[in-house]
Chain A
Amino acid sequence: MREAIPTGVPYFGASLKEWIFTTDHKKIGILYLVTSILFFVVGGLFALGMRLELTSPGLQFWSPEFYNYLLTGHGAIMLLWWAIGAPTGGFGNFLLPLMIGARDVAFPRLNALSWWAYFGASVLVLITLIPGNHIKMMWTGYPPYALNNDAGNLALYVFIIHLLGVSSIAGAVNFLTTVIRMRAKGLSYWKLPIFVHSIITANVIQILGVPSLAGAVTMDLFDKYLGTAFFDPARGGDPLLYQHVFWFYSHPAVYVMLLPPVAIAGEVISAMAKNRFFGYKAYVIAQWGVVVLGFIVWTHHMFVTATADWLKIIQSITTMMITVPVGIIVLASTLTLFKGALKFNTATWFALGTIFMILPGGLTGIPNGMLGIDYGLSDSYWIAGHFHFVLAMIITFGIFAGLYYWFPKFTGRLAYSDGLGSLGFFVMFMGAMLIFGMQLIAGLHGMPRRYVDYPPIPELITAHHWMTVGAFIFALGVLITFINLILGMVKGEKADANPWGSPSLEWWTASPPAPHNFDKLPEVDEEWHPYNYKKA
Chain B
Amino acid sequence: MAHEEVHHGHHEVSMWPVGVGLGALFGVLAFTAFFQWQMPFLAVIFGGLTVVCLLGGLAGWVNEFFTTGHDEKHGKIAIVFFVASEVIVFGTMFAAFWRAWVFNSHEWANWVPQEMNLLMPVILTLILWASSGAIVLAERAIEHGNVGAYNKWLLITIVLGTLFVILHVMEWIHLWESGFTLSSNMYGTAFYMLTGFHTSHVLVGLIAMLYLLWIGLSGKIDETKTTAVVATGFYWHFVDVVWMFVATNAYFVGSIPALAGGH
Interface of A with B (CB < 8 Å)? 1-7, 9, 17-18, 20-24, 102-104, 106-110, 112-113, 115-117, 119-120, 123-124, 153-156, 159, 162-163, 166, 169, 172-174, 176-177, 180-185, 187-188, 207-212, 214-216, 218-219, 222, 225-230, 235-238, 241, 244-245, 515-516, 521, 523
In the bound complex, what is the Cα–Cα distance between A209 and B16 (angstroms)? 28
Asked if A238 and B103 make an inter-chain contact with CB atoms under 8 angstroms apart, the answer reads yes
Asked if B186 and A229 make an inter-chain contact with CB atoms under 8 angstroms apart, the answer reads yes
Asked if B24 and A163 make an inter-chain contact with CB atoms under 8 angstroms apart, the answer reads yes
- List the B side residues contacting A229 at CB < 8 Å: 183-186, 188-189
Known contacts A116-B17, A210-B85, A236-B104: does B24 contact A245 (CB below 8 Å)?
Answer: no
Q: A3-B12, A119-B21, A238-B100 are in contact. List 14 more A-B contacts (CB 8 A).
A: A1-B16, A2-B13, A5-B12, A17-B13, A23-B13, A103-B8, A106-B78, A173-B78, A211-B91, A214-B92, A215-B89, A215-B92, A229-B184, A516-B10
In the bound complex, what is the Cα–Cα distance between A214 and B93 (angstroms)? 11
Asked if A182 and B6 make an inter-chain contact with CB atoms under 8 angstroms apart, the answer reads yes
- List the B side residues contacting A102 at CB < 8 Å: 6
> Which of A2, A153, A166, A521 is most buried by chain B, counting CB atoms within 10 A of its CB?
A2
Closest 8 A-B residue pairs measured CB to CB? A116-B21, A215-B92, A515-B11, A236-B186, A120-B25, A227-B183, A112-B17, A159-B28
Asked if B188 and A166 make an inter-chain contact with CB atoms under 8 angstroms apart, the answer reads no
Interface range on chain B: under 10, 10 to 19, 20 to 34, or 35 or more? Answer: 35 or more
In the bound complex, what is the Cα–Cα distance between A521 and B2 (angstroms)? 13
* Pick from A17, A216, A235: contact of B92, CB under 8 Å: A216
Asked if A207 and B84 make an inter-chain contact with CB atoms under 8 angstroms apart, the answer reads yes
Minimum C-beta distance from B15 to chain A (A): 5
* Pick from B17, B36, B86: contact of A23, CB under 8 Å: B17
- List the A side residues contacting B69 at CB < 8 Å: 2
Minimum C-beta distance from B214 to chain A (A): 18
Known contacts A6-B10, A236-B104: does B99 contact A214 (CB below 8 Å)?
Answer: no
Asked if B14 and A173 make an inter-chain contact with CB atoms under 8 angstroms apart, the answer reads no
In the bound complex, what is the Cα–Cα distance between A228 and B187 (angstroms)? 10
Asked if A212 and B81 make an inter-chain contact with CB atoms under 8 angstroms apart, the answer reads no
Minimum C-beta distance from A469 to chain B (A): 40
In the bound complex, what is the Cα–Cα distance between A222 and B96 (angstroms)? 13
Nearest opposing residue in chain B for A123, CB measure:
B25
Known contacts A106-B74, A113-B20, A181-B74: does B11 contact A120 (CB below 8 Å)?
Answer: no
Residue B115, interface by CB 8 Å: no
Minimum C-beta distance from B47 to chain A (A): 14
Minimum C-beta distance from B187 to chain A (A): 7
Residue B45, interface by CB 8 Å: no
Encoded as 1 (CB less than 8 Å from any A CB) or 0, chain B from 15 to 53 comes to 111101110110010011001100000000000000000
Asked if B95 and A245 make an inter-chain contact with CB atoms under 8 angstroms apart, the answer reads yes
Known contacts A238-B99, A238-B100: does B77 contact A21 (CB below 8 Å)?
Answer: no
Asked if A24 and B12 make an inter-chain contact with CB atoms under 8 angstroms apart, the answer reads yes
- List the B side residues contacting A116 at CB < 8 Å: 17-18, 20-22, 24
Asked if B17 and A110 make an inter-chain contact with CB atoms under 8 angstroms apart, the answer reads yes
In the bound complex, what is the Cα–Cα distance between A242 and B153 (angstroms)? 43
Minimum C-beta distance from B5 to chain A (A): 8
**Chain B binding surface, main DSSP class:** helix
Asked if A21 and B185 make an inter-chain contact with CB atoms under 8 angstroms apart, the answer reads no
* Pick from B32, B64, B81: contact of A172, CB under 8 Å: B81
Minimum C-beta distance from B36 to chain A (A): 4
17 A-B pairs with CB atoms under 8 Å apart are A2-B14, A2-B68, A18-B11, A20-B18, A104-B8, A106-B78, A110-B17, A116-B22, A117-B24, A153-B36, A163-B25, A229-B186, A230-B96, A230-B189, A235-B185, A241-B99, A245-B92
In the bound complex, what is the Cα–Cα distance between A516 and B6 (angstroms)? 10
> Which of A6, A21, A177 is most buried by chain B, counting CB atoms within 10 A of its CB?
A177
Asked if B186 and A237 make an inter-chain contact with CB atoms under 8 angstroms apart, the answer reads yes
Nearest opposing residue in chain B for A118, CB measure:
B21
Asked if A516 and B11 make an inter-chain contact with CB atoms under 8 angstroms apart, the answer reads yes
Minimum C-beta distance from B35 to chain A (A): 4
Asked if A155 and B13 make an inter-chain contact with CB atoms under 8 angstroms apart, the answer reads no
* Pick from B4, B13, B35, B81: contact of A22, CB under 8 Å: B13
Nearest opposing residue in chain B for A7, CB measure:
B10
* Pick from B12, B21, B186: contact of A4, CB under 8 Å: B12
- List the A side residues contacting B9 at CB < 8 Å: 7, 103, 516
- List the A side residues contacting B185 at CB < 8 Å: 229, 235-236
Asked if B28 and A109 make an inter-chain contact with CB atoms under 8 angstroms apart, the answer reads no
Known contacts A23-B13, A159-B28: does B85 contact A104 (CB below 8 Å)?
Answer: no
Residue B193, interface by CB 8 Å: yes
Minimum C-beta distance from A118 to chain B (A): 9
- List the B side residues contacting A103 at CB < 8 Å: 6, 8-9
Minimum C-beta distance from A9 to chain B (A): 7
- List the A side residues contacting B95 at CB < 8 Å: 241, 244-245
Minimum C-beta distance from A486 to chain B (A): 26
- List the B side residues contacting A20 at CB < 8 Å: 18
Known contacts A120-B22, A236-B187: does B84 contact A208 (CB below 8 Å)?
Answer: yes
Asked if B13 and A237 make an inter-chain contact with CB atoms under 8 angstroms apart, the answer reads no
In the bound complex, what is the Cα–Cα distance between A24 and B17 (angstroms)? 13
Residue B245, interface by CB 8 Å: no
Asked if B72 and A181 make an inter-chain contact with CB atoms under 8 angstroms apart, the answer reads yes
- List the A side residues contacting B145 at CB < 8 Å: none
Minimum C-beta distance from B33 to chain A (A): 9
Nearest opposing residue in chain B for A117, CB measure:
B21
In the bound complex, what is the Cα–Cα distance between A184 and B2 (angstroms)? 7
- List the A side residues contacting B187 at CB < 8 Å: 236
Asked if A156 and B14 make an inter-chain contact with CB atoms under 8 angstroms apart, the answer reads no
Residue B60, interface by CB 8 Å: yes
- List the B side residues contacting A214 at CB < 8 Å: 89, 92
Known contacts A109-B14, A166-B24, A181-B77: does B64 contact A1 (CB below 8 Å)?
Answer: yes
- List the A side residues contacting B5 at CB < 8 Å: 521
- List the B side residues contacting A211 at CB < 8 Å: 85-86, 88-89, 91-92
In the bound complex, what is the Cα–Cα distance between A208 and B82 (angstroms)? 10
- List the A side residues contacting B16 at CB < 8 Å: 1, 109
Nearest opposing residue in chain A for B74, CB measure:
A106
Residue B61, interface by CB 8 Å: yes
Asked if B36 and A156 make an inter-chain contact with CB atoms under 8 angstroms apart, the answer reads yes
In the bound complex, what is the Cα–Cα distance between A5 and B8 (angstroms)? 11
- List the A side residues contacting B189 at CB < 8 Å: 222, 228-230, 235, 237
Encoded as 1 (CB less than 8 Å from any A CB) or 0, chain B from 98 to 119 comes to 0110011001100100000000
* Pick from B6, B21, B78, B107: contact of A120, CB under 8 Å: B21
Known contacts A119-B21, A177-B81: does B2 contact A159 (CB below 8 Å)?
Answer: no
> Which of B11, B28, B78, B89 is most buried by chain A, counting CB atoms within 10 A of its CB?
B11
Minimum C-beta distance from B221 to chain A (A): 18
In the bound complex, what is the Cα–Cα distance between A244 and B91 (angstroms)? 12
Minimum C-beta distance from B184 to chain A (A): 7
- List the A side residues contacting B77 at CB < 8 Å: 176-177, 180-181
Minimum C-beta distance from B9 to chain A (A): 6
- List the A side residues contacting B81 at CB < 8 Å: 172-173, 176-177, 207
- List the B side residues contacting A187 at CB < 8 Å: 2
In the bound complex, what is the Cα–Cα distance between A446 and B256 (angstroms)? 52
In the bound complex, what is the Cα–Cα distance between A123 and B189 (angstroms)? 31
* Pick from B22, B28, B64, B93: contact of A2, CB under 8 Å: B64
